[in-house]
Amino acid sequence: MASFWNLFKQFFPPTSKWSPDEIPDLTGKVALVTGGNVGLGKETCKHLLIKGCTVWLAARSKSKAEQAIADLKKETGKEALFLELDLNDLKAVKESAEKFKGQNSALHILICNAGVMVPPIEQVTAQGYDLQFGVNALGHFFLIQKLLPLLKATSNSLAETRIVWVASSAQFYFKNPPVDYENLTDTPSRKKLGKQGLYTQSKFITVMLGIYLAKLLAEDQNSNVISIYLDPGNIHTELGRNFPPFVATLMAWTILHPISKGVLTQLYAATSPEAAQYNGKYLRPWARLGEPHPQTKDEVEQKKMWDYCMAAIKDYE
């Protein structure tokens, strides 16, 4: 009965007590939103633009990004900036980060929003990692590492800068923690785990990395950067495009919520003055404190995953 009730609350969260109207003036602030051309990312960019933020919309497709930027300008009267970013390739991530740093002297908000969900099992990253791990976790990890010095330099004792990791309730469905590292590269055991298992694994890892980064940031007395990780909710976006049409339609009719709701939690994490105290905290729909999967808190496994990711990016720094 308890598990059913938890599942029900996950699918149908209580009404939010916070709205984007409460976002403070962001004039003079700079934000980078990955996957900003569609879905939650695009809606996030819209609200940041409305509040006066300089918004960099990061996406792999230039044509889709340019269309999104045009759409956003019609809606807000303000123009986002495009950053080409392919999280599938660590070399490309480095190039994008260097380009961003070359054009910006500050970064106040980094929202790691982009992601892939249950793509064909044959797909791997340019470096041979599982695609869902590579894009959802490792690619963002590397982007954060490259931009962290700028985030630290932008922060001060009176104003923090923020890293927002968009995870998922899928972390709770990761069946066999701790992570089996054989499943992170193109191995038979990875294929055996399956597309859905690999997705839940990638979000479980995202949460672990978000927690561990928060600990490191809390220990740094010379900067004021915070790391928040969250579940945006079950949202009707293009992320589910790889599901069979019948399944996608059924989900849309029953358990998926509109983008206008899905964007609440990451906007709250990125902009709310109250969220400035939430370094290392997990947020759930809609903009509420919650608790992640208990085993994501295993400090030994966090450190192991952190070291694995650091080794993975070493040759591309």
| Alpha-carbon gap, residue 185 to 112, rounded angstroms | 22
Rg (CA), the chain: 18
Tokens 């591309």, located at residue: 316
Point out the catalytic residue in the list 199, 268, 278, 282.
Answer: 199
297 catalytically annotated: no
- Quick one: how far is CA 96 from the chain centroid? 17
Closest CA to 116 of 95, 100, 132: 132
- Determine which helix (DSSP H) or strand (DSSP E) holds 63, and give its type and residue range: helix 62-76
Point out the catalytic residue in the list 29, 46, 146, 203.
Answer: 203
| CB-CB contact of 154 with 106 (8 Å) | yes
| CB-CB contact of 136 with 202 (8 Å) | yes
| CB-CB contact of 47 with 123 (8 Å) | no
203 catalytically annotated: yes
What secondary structure letter does DSSP report for 317? -
Q: Which residues contact 27 (CB under 8 A, 6 or more apart)?
A: 51, 52, 53
Structure tokens at 105: 């002297």
Q: Is 35 left (phi over 0), alpha (psi -120 to 50) or beta?
A: left
Structure tokens at 189: 């055991």
CA angle, residues 243, 248, 249, in degrees to nearest 5: 155
| CB-CB contact of 278 with 269 (8 Å) | yes
Hey, which residues are catalytic here? 199, 203
